[in-house]
Amino acid sequence: MFNNTGTRHNRVSLGCLPILFLGAFVGCTRGPSRVEASFQQGDVRRGEYLTKIFSCQECHTVRLGDGIHLNRNLLFAGGVAFPGPDGSFIYTANVTLASSYPEQVLEDVIRGRLAYKFAMPTHVYNRMASDDMRDVIAFIKTLQPVLRPLPDSRLPANLILPAPNPAVPVPGREPPIGSLERGEYLSRMCACQNCHSPRDSAGAHLPGHLFEGGMRLQLADGPVHVTPNITADPQTGIGAWSEGDIVRAIRAGVTPDGRELDHAMPYLTAFHEMADQDMTDLVRFLRSVKPEKGSRPRTE
């Protein structure tokens, strides 16, 4: 959640699905394997919903001139800028071109098992439940390719890329509805944990300090935001907020005192469509997070 500091033209929300350099993985025509057949059973409508609340659309769709709303004519067509502290400048990939790739390749890309993905939080998506991954990919496969040139990304001259993510145990399904475990799962997949947790110099989350805020978020055309504390601390966090207050902030971007949150938090482009049960599970989990004295919202 961010305080509103005015219109921005290129928002940065840590989100999903850069599809890079996949042509080499596309093989000759053949019948579907047993793995690929399982993806054909995916729920396309649920997959579309998940790409909204998991901020995939947010990360891979440029904004309109108001800097707030997504350009629906270029949905998933990439080109959103991610400036990095190391001098890099990355543009998100055109996901609409992924519809022709094999399902297993897409899963390995999303989980970060084929190549390092810069700003994409593949460490989160590497543990996405199999049923969610199946539905997300089923939806991606329905996208119509949008052919458009994208700016070239810039990388430091002597950059050494980290290795791809290793294979890790993956749950078959999300945790049970109504459980705190499901709320915790959603807090990861919806980027709450990723955006509101401080990091060390290597970019990893600081153990024991999740949700305390303090992550520096650089927008492409504006100031550096420092994300706020969303633990249950009543002074510096959201401990004094009611469930309704938190729901309103997530869905409508309005705090209990009437302040508008910055649109770097994708409440208009993603969270306003979150289903009631998902919202309930997420908010109950956030209210259960141990209170910690973390950062207050600010912009540098």
DSSP class of residue 153 equals: P
Can you give the pTM of this predicted structure? 0.83
pLDDT tens, per residue, the chain with 300 residues: 544 433 333 333 333 333 333 333 333 333 444 444 455 689 999 999 999 999 999 999 999 988 888 999 999 999 998 887 677 888 999 999 998 899 999 999 999 999 887 778 898 999 999 999 999 999 999 999 999 999 998 888 888 888 999 999 999 999 999 999 999 999 999 999 888 887 766 667 777 788 988 777 755 555 677 788 999 999 989 999 999 999 999 999 999 999 998 877 889 889 999 999 999 999 999 999 999 886 554 444
pLDDT confidence of residue 14: 36
pLDDT confidence of residue 203: 65
Distance separating alpha carbons of residues 270 and 225, to the nearest angstrom:
20
196-205: list long-range contacts, CB under 8 Å, 24+ apart.
196/1, 196/227, 196/228, 196/229, 196/230, 198/294, 198/295
pLDDT confidence of residue 12: 38
Distance separating alpha carbons of residues 226 and 115, to the nearest angstrom:
29
Enumerate the domain spans of the chain: 205-299
pLDDT confidence of residue 138: 96
